[in-house]
Amino acid sequence: MTEVMRAEHVTRTLEGEVPVTLVRNVNLSVESGEFVCIMGPSGSGKSSLLYLLGLLDAPTEGRVFVAGEDTSTFDDDRLSDFRLARLGYVFQFHFLLNEFSALENVLLPMRKLGRVAEEAARERAAQLLARLGVGDQAGKRPGQLSGGQRQRVAIARALANDPLVILADEPTGNLDSVSGTNVRDILRDLTRELGKAVVAVTHDANFASVADRRIGIVDGEVDLGWTGARPAPSGT
């Protein structure tokens, strides 16, 4: 496996009269084909860390590398293009656009990146939906789909530009247990079958049970004494 993401001494502090540190001096790496779960108490900094790894927020200190590139050197335009091409996101709430069909929602990232012709993009979108078991729902709008189906469409959208890493924030938190297990298995299979790295924040022990590695976060810091946590790979 190949390292696809690395955080070096990453800290995120909100400035103010009383500064608040959300993430403190985190070091970790993620490899291709690895399913990593970030877990910890509510308010521990799990989602804050995921947003830093996903380049949706910038660290106050430290650096995040993706595909060997130091993202701290990117300007806003480069960062936006890089996120679109290299990273995919799945959230607790699907954030699909209700005015578009499932197929059109999956097309949006490809159209925005502009690297695939429209016909090829439509074919890829249809293939992704079929792979995720919702190919027959391609023409329906999100409001016509179940919660589990909407999340599958959201995963297809995250895969649209063939990213290196999928970042998921409580992806089963709004689903029933059966749909949640299905989504968990889909994300796990992305690592096994496609070699994608998946980094997910979860409170769900069932979801985390299939992870290759579980990272505990307590008070913004990696806690190696946290139950189920394993040390980060050597060299981080």
Other CB atoms within a 10 A radius of the CB of residue 144 amount to 13
Q: From 20, 18, 36, 16, select the one nearest 28 (Cα to Cα).
A: 36
Instruction: Please check the confidence at residue 232 and state whether its pLDDT lies above 60.
Output: no
Domains of the chain, first to last: 3-94+164-222 (3.40.50.300)
Q: Which two tokens stand for residue 109?
A: 């990232």
Model pLDDT, residue 222 = 83
- Using an 8 Å Cβ cutoff, are 191 and 33 in contact? yes
Q: Find, among 128, 79, 82, the residue nearest to 105 by Cα.
A: 128
Q: State how far the Cα of 156 lies from the Cα of 148, in Å rounded to an integer.
A: 13
Predicted TM-score (pTM) of the model is: 0.89
Q: What integer pLDDT is reported at residue 45 of this predicted model?
A: 87
Q: Using one digit for the tens of pLDDT, what is the confidence trace for 59-91?
A: 999 999 999 999 999 999 999 999 999 999 998
